[in-house]
Amino acid sequence: MPLLLHYPLCPHSRFVRLILAELGVDAELIEERAFDRRPEFLALDAAGRTPVFVDDDETIVPSAVIAEYLDETYGAGRGAQRLLPTETQARIETRRLVDWFNVKFFEEVTGWLVTEKVYKRFSPQGGAPDMDLVRVARANIRHHMRYIGHLTSHRNWLAGDRLSYADFAAAAHLSCADYLGDVPWEEDEAAKHWYQRVKSRPAFRSLLADRAPGMAPGPFYALLDF
């Protein structure tokens, strides 16, 4: 059985968990605290970041590469339901948005939120969260909410007519911010409605059941209608 080393509030791990669930790939999930820098973990991935996927004796990192691998192996038979579409324009747009959330949104929002509020709490080298950085993330997320709203008011799903990796990348990151109570849902109606639709998918269920020790999720986290 494939193996996923993940961390519950790591947005990149959540992106891969959503894809696995949507594709119906059974994988064993093992929690990895990357901040502990376990030598056996660093031997698997020199970058020392979650998630790490192990399948068929191959170690696959980081999340964007895992997504490409899963599409090429488990996704290829899905035809029009493929999460990385086959048409050139749709591939470009899907991959652009996956990168947008996994790189840009992470740099501007989830990287700060998760590092300051979660990793610092549980890491031995932790400390109090730097609330200035948290406030920067909370300001930045508003632009992204409007961008999601702009896209989804013109399109059925984030990258176009069909559900794709772009929806799962965006929702993975938003779900972490939502757990921490840091998504301004009032900012954009279209963005909120799009998220409700993604959140209602069965693939989302295991994420909504996650609980970090001593940290209750935000008020809307597990509600499908919020």
The residues of the shown chain that bind a copy of itself, judged by CB under 8 A, are 46-47, 58, 60-62, 64-65, 68-69, 72-73, 88-89, 91-92, 95-96, 99-100, 103-104, 147
Indicate the residue among 84 and 203 with the shorter CB distance to a copy of itself.
Answer: 84
- Asked if 67 and 19 touch (Cβ cutoff 8 Å), the reply is yes
Q: Which two tokens stand for residue 26?
A: 């059974």
Q: Which is nearer to a copy of itself, 96 or 135 (CB)?
A: 96
Q: Which is nearer to a copy of itself, 73 or 206 (CB)?
A: 73
- Shortest spacing between CB 197 and a copy of itself, in angstroms: 23
Nearer to a copy of itself, 45 or 116 (CB): 45
In the complex, what is the shortest distance from the CB of residue 181 to a copy of itself, in angstroms, rounded to a whole number?
27
Query: Quick one: CA dihedral 181, 31, 203, 74, positive or negative?
Result: positive
Q: How far is the CB of 56 from a copy of itself (least distance, A)?
A: 8
Minimum gap (Å) between residue 61 Cβ and a copy of itself: 6
64 in Cβ contact with 102 (< 8 Å): yes
Q: Identify which of residues 96 and 211 has a Cβ nearer to a copy of itself in the complex.
A: 96
Contacts of 163 (CB under 8 A, 6+ apart): 83, 157
Q: How far is the CB of 143 from a copy of itself (least distance, A)?
A: 10
At its nearest, how many Å lie between a copy of itself and the CB of residue 144? 11
* CB-nearer residue toward a copy of itself: 89 or 200: 89
By beta-carbon proximity to a copy of itself, the closer residue of 178 and 188 is 188
- Of 142, 180, 201, 140, which is closest to residue 17 (Cα–Cα)? 201
Least separation, in Å, of the C-beta of 65 and a copy of itself?
A: 4
